[in-house]
Amino acid sequence: MGEILLHNTLTNRKEVFTPMRAGEVRMYTCGPTVYDYAHIGNYRTFVFQDILRRFLRSRGLRMNHVMNLTDVDDRIIQNAVKKGISIFDYTAKYIEAFKEDMNALSCESPEHLVRATDHIADMVKLIQKLDAKGLTYRSDGSIYYRIAKFPNYGKLSKVDLSGIQAGARVEVDRYEKTDARDFALWKAPKAGEHFWETEIGPGRPGWHIECSAMAMKYLGDTLDIHTGGIDLAFPHHENEIAQSEAATGHPFVRYWLHAEHLIIDGEKMSKSLGNFYTLRDLFAKGHKPSTVRYLLASVPYRRQLNFTADSIQQAASSVERLRNFVARLKEGKFPAGSNLAMQKRAEQAIANFEAGLADDLNTAVALAAIFDLVRDVNTAMDRDEFRQGDARHVLAAMQTFGQIFAVLEDNDDAKLRSIGIDSSTPEISPEQIETLIADRQRAREQRNFKRADEIRQELAERGILLEDIRDGGVRWKKK
């Protein structure tokens, strides 16, 4: 088999991938911050890492893959305080939902799915190590990393440090490139908020130290692959490098892989912009788990994925077409015998499929190889040129595809039921209608008439008619 090329953000080029230890890939994925349901932009990144691990496994490599759950951060703490419950009670629901969503999307479980709050002692140890090397300082009970002491700061994201002032710091975990400053390793406790009593004082970890500590605990000082969405390259991954490499003196990660964003109406889908769908939103509209997975996987990970009503419809019909094709191969009755050309055609499709994936996971090329095969085989069947003995070769190609894309098995209804959605009655509730109407009103106020029309259309498809009444109000009724 040919070599595997992966694009490394560190060098900004495609490189041949070889694991450091023969046969085993040690990989870390930044998991979700469980302060809410994850949105489908998040799942774009998680499906990408699933395609990656499935592909590496198909090459006979064993995965040692760690994904973390960020179950403590500013938003979690604040939301828990607002609700008057512990952070553990607050996050439990979203951790469960995340696991269910990942299962619905047929994402394999990483070998280690670990919680930040179970690793506070490891984070404290790492901070102590940095402290001993003179890389930290304290201010108002918090501990900061002095980035000027790490000469390689910026090597991943190529951030420009020329304008920064020594000692200037940021309090928040998520900030812009222009804010490259000393960041918090450990945050002083605030009144009424959750904190841990530790050897470095009371407080809670910053976001960045969590991933360094958990990655190195399970995978050692140097990992093969680290993945995440492109927004994490700075500051999160830059800070992970600074913490880890300064502590160990070894390179932290050999290949950094970043997924581009899923966008909607030309903007990044994000909670803060309020333009997001959760997976459950899409299921409630009647979309199937396999459709969503296919859509998220079909665009190569380094290209932006533009989420539209049209793209999800197309994904649904592509999956349908592939499933019908497999059914035709399995159930169809063809003349006895076999046709060597057809066997060769199937083998060629497998080779093209694998070559596409080996070229930095080019899922578009890989899919084209399969759809070309489907077209050619359907044509051969229609012309009576397909023989019974050919079916197993073509099925082998479809199986190769299925192991990576995981959309051929017709298990959507069971998956939906497992997260409490009965797909036989996709009825819309009055609350959902009101929410959509409010969204539409907001879109109109922002003069986003395209979105407003889409919402009207969506409601119409679900049997709800809107009537604009005087003074800007809206009435709805069932068709």
In the complex, the residues that contact ligand AMP under the rule CB under 6 A are 30, 32-33, 41-42, 44-45, 228-229, 231-232, 259, 261-262, 268-270
For Zn ion, the binding residues in 196-215 under the rule CB under 5 A are 211
Query: Which option in ligand AMP, Zn ion, none does residue 289 bind, with CB closer than 5 to 8 A by kind?
Result: none
The least distance separating Zn ion from the CB of residue 142, rounded to whole angstroms, comes to: 20
Distance of CA 436 to the CA centre of its chain: 26
CA atoms within 13 A on the CB side of 22: 0
What would the DSSP string read from start to end of 349-379?
HHHHHHHHHHBT--HHHHHHHHHHHHHHHHH
Residue among 228 and 300 whose Cβ is closer to Zn ion: 228
Query: With CB under 5 A as the contact rule, which of the stretches 22-30, 104-112, 336-344, 403-411 interacts with Zn ion?
Result: 22-30
DSSP summary character for residue 472: G
C-alpha angle 279/285/291, rounded to 5°?
60
Residue closest to ligand AMP, measured at CB: 229
Give the whole-angstrom CA distance, residue 406 versus residue 409: 7
Q: Are 191 and 168 in contact (CB under 8 A)?
A: no
The least distance separating ligand AMP from the CB of residue 269, rounded to whole angstroms, comes to: 4
Query: Which option in ligand AMP, Zn ion, none does residue 33 bind, with CB closer than 5 to 8 A by kind?
Result: ligand AMP
The least distance separating ligand AMP from the CB of residue 76, rounded to whole angstroms, comes to: 11
242-245 long-range CB contacts below 8 Å, 24 or more apart?
Answer: 242/145, 242/147, 242/150, 242/152, 242/153, 243/126, 243/130, 243/145, 243/185, 243/208, 243/209, 243/212, 244/212, 244/215, 244/216, 245/150, 245/152
Residue among 97 and 211 whose Cβ is closer to Zn ion: 211
The least distance separating Zn ion from the CB of residue 68, rounded to whole angstroms, comes to: 6
Residue among 110 and 377 whose Cβ is closer to ligand AMP: 110
Residue among 131 and 265 whose Cβ is closer to ligand AMP: 265
The least distance separating ligand AMP from the CB of residue 70, rounded to whole angstroms, comes to: 6
Query: Which option in Zn ion, ligand AMP, none does residue 211 bind, with CB closer than 5 to 8 A by kind?
Result: Zn ion
Longest CA pairwise span in the chain (Å): 81
The least distance separating ligand AMP from the CB of residue 170, rounded to whole angstroms, comes to: 17
Q: Are 361 and 55 in contact (CB under 8 A)?
A: yes
Query: Which option in ligand AMP, Zn ion, none does residue 262 bind, with CB closer than 5 to 8 A by kind?
Result: ligand AMP
Query: Which option in Zn ion, ligand AMP, none does residue 53 bind, with CB closer than 5 to 8 A by kind?
Result: none
The least distance separating ligand AMP from the CB of residue 44, rounded to whole angstroms, comes to: 4
316 in contact with Zn ion (CB under 5 A): no
Residue among 221 and 454 whose Cβ is closer to Zn ion: 221
Q: Are 55 and 2 in contact (CB under 8 A)?
A: no
The least distance separating ligand AMP from the CB of residue 234, rounded to whole angstroms, comes to: 11
E strands along 30-75, which residues?
Answer: 62-69
Residue among 210 and 412 whose Cβ is closer to Zn ion: 210
Query: Which option in ligand AMP, Zn ion, none does residue 268 bind, with CB closer than 5 to 8 A by kind?
Result: ligand AMP
Give the whole-angstrom CA distance, residue 162 versus residue 424: 60
Query: With CB under 5 A as the contact rule, which of the stretches 26-34, 160-168, 325-333, 369-377 interacts with Zn ion?
Result: 26-34
CA atoms within 13 A on the CB side of 21: 11
Q: Are 103 and 411 in contact (CB under 8 A)?
A: no
Token duo for residue 344: 């060769």
The least distance separating ligand AMP from the CB of residue 411, rounded to whole angstroms, comes to: 25
Residue among 64 and 91 whose Cβ is closer to ligand AMP: 91
Nearest partner of 224 among 4, 2, 1, judged by Cα:
4
Choosing from 6, 10, 25, 30, the residue that interacts with Zn ion (CB under 5 A) is 30
Token duo for residue 455: 């919402």
- Provide the binding-site residues for Zn ion, judged by CB under 5 A: 30, 211
